[in-house]
A and B are shown apart, each in its own frame.
Chain A
Amino acid sequence: MSSGKKPAAGRHAHDHGDHDHSDHDHSGHDHTHDHGDGHGHSHDERTFQPDIKEPSEEWELLEIALRELLVEKGVISAREIQDKIEEWDGKSPATGAEIVARAWSEPAFKKRLLADGNKAVADFGLEVPGLKLVVLENTAKLHHVVVCTLCSCYPRTILGVPPLWYKSKEYRSRTVREPRAVLAEFGTKIAANVEVRVVDSTADCRFLVLPQRPNATKGWSATKLAKLVTRDSMIGTAVALPAEGQRT
């Protein structure tokens, strides 16, 4: 390193937009400095990790085979698939937050939302086609938390795609059996006298939690209220943010 010439790997500030991480291991590196500072190691000593991990699980191979066959037979195009993925990636929990904020602000809307979720969200131009949207109100006595033990049922048209943890076997198996431990791992503590109702989304309903409205928000506009509604608070693994806008 004493030649003064910068190594090919260059600076390791985390501007990694032009390559991915699979070509070297970042553990143990302090990456806020240039390798010219001479801490005397090279990446060649690291265990080799292949750049591309080949698909190996049965479900991966099945998906690729089915997709390639559908494209080859002209049933669907690669572009259509990609556009659909992008459309789904574009959906966000902000949509759900708007609905919650309006329910907090307008008692009449809240009543309609709790009575018939599908009809109420049509006001926002939203649909939950073929399924029943059920909005579950959390109160001082009742805290709902939603899980799909069988797969990953989730109100996707309202919240977008679910987070990976929601689809994990750990979340799906543990929440029905040790809900408070799972909630604690999310940093959420529910008082002992409050019923935690674990809602296992097993069939044709899709559940959206209406979290409790935070204190000290009287008179707030729906836009301001929506900022307190997090995705996790609409799943039930969290409560809404306090009026301050962040948790202390």
Chain B
Amino acid sequence: MSARFKAGDPVVVKNEHRPGHIRTPMYLRGKRGVVLKDYGSWKNPEDLAVGRDGLPLRVNYWVQFRMDDVWNGHGAYGAVDTIAAEIYEHWLEPDTNASGKNRP
């Protein structure tokens, strides 16, 4: 099984709300970013938290976000600053609306 995304792919974090142990921070849900790299496959922590086996393994992507794309100006950051967070593959969708502007 090959990974869904590769470095450079524009992605959007799903804007869903699910109960339980979720490692996708609220402030990044629905935000657009770019995949930096693939940090390997891991057992799903959402399942491990409730005693399940966490399989199948999920790919953990390092995703970079422009500050403006996350905060829309409601923050105090440099124009070139970014956030990089690990987001599991099942929380990402391809960003079909991505233009050159979306890339950090």
Contacts and interface: CB of A to CB of B under 8 A. Distances in A.
A202 interface: yes
Interface in A204-221: 204-205
B39 A177 contact: no
Contacts of A196: 77-78, 80-82
Contacts of B71: 177
Interface string B51-85: 00000000010101000001100111111111111
A149 B86 contact: no
B84 A178 contact: no
B96 to A, nearest CB: 24
A195 B80 contact: yes
B24 interface: yes
B8 interface: no
A192 B83 CA distance: 16
A176 interface: yes
Nearest to A151: B23
B88 interface: yes
Given A149-B27, A205-B39, A200 B77 contact: no
A200 B42 contact: no
A148 B77 CA distance: 18
A227 interface: no
Interface string B40-58: 1010010000000000000
A197 B82 contact: yes
B40 A199 contact: no
Contact of B87 (A180, A195, A199, A202): A202
Given A203-B42, A203-B60, A205-B60, A179 B81 contact: yes
A132 B77 contact: no
B19 interface: no
The 4 closest A-B pairs by CB, nearest first: A203-B86, A178-B76, A177-B75, A200-B85
Given A193-B80, A197-B83, A199-B85, 14 more contacts: A134-B39, A176-B27, A176-B83, A177-B71, A177-B75, A192-B80, A195-B78, A195-B82, A197-B64, A197-B81, A197-B82, A198-B81, A200-B83, A200-B86
Interface of A: 132, 134, 149-150, 176-181, 190, 192-205
26 contacts: A149-B25, A149-B27, A150-B23, A176-B70, A176-B83, A178-B76, A180-B76, A180-B78, A180-B81, A190-B78, A195-B78, A196-B80, A197-B64, A197-B81, A197-B83, A197-B84, A198-B81, A200-B25, A200-B28, A201-B86, A202-B25, A202-B85, A203-B86, A203-B88, A204-B39, A204-B60
